[in-house]
Structure 1
Amino acid sequence: SISRLTKRRTCKNCGRIIPYINKFKRLKKCDKCGGELIIRADDTINGVKERLAWFKTDVQPSINYYKKRGELVEINGEQSIEDVFKDILKALKKR
């Protein structure tokens, strides 16, 4: 949601995205590396709306194209980086 995206913070050092929820609201520094937490310049209401519009006009048509051709591979990006990488390798081996 727009509200969630405009409130998140990013570690200036390691790039970790910190949601502004629950225990994370109290963080003054990155809980991973101790870096400074910043709000990205495009994490404004207008910035998020522009990114969503871009997704609808530029990205979604590509997704639909490859899905219709049966060539779209979906990977759960909410996993750890290592698990995402493993799933990508598995998908590539199947092709």
Structure 2
Amino acid sequence: MAEQQDTPAGGWTVAVQTDAVRTEFRRPSQARITVRAGKSEVVVEANADGLRALAGHLVTLAGDGVPDGAHLHLEAGVGLTGGSAGLVLERDDEA
């Protein structure tokens, strides 16, 4: 079960409850993240707040008790700047 909560400054927090583990993903309003997908590479551009937000998402997914397959979808206008390609961050313990 996921619930999104907008913060007063325009950022957001998404909380996910799985079994006994509550996971929260946060993105401050100042974070700017853009994803461009080319033929042979993907470029992730971000300001300092955006890089910290991405790092926080990855650390959250790597946390103890977070199940295999847990993931976060980032899309243009929802976590990413307009015009961005979609990005999925997923935990895969069998990789």
TM-score normalised by structure 1 residue count: 0.21
Structure number with higher helix proportion? 1
Tell which structure's C-alpha radius of gyration is larger.
1
Structure number with higher strand proportion? 2
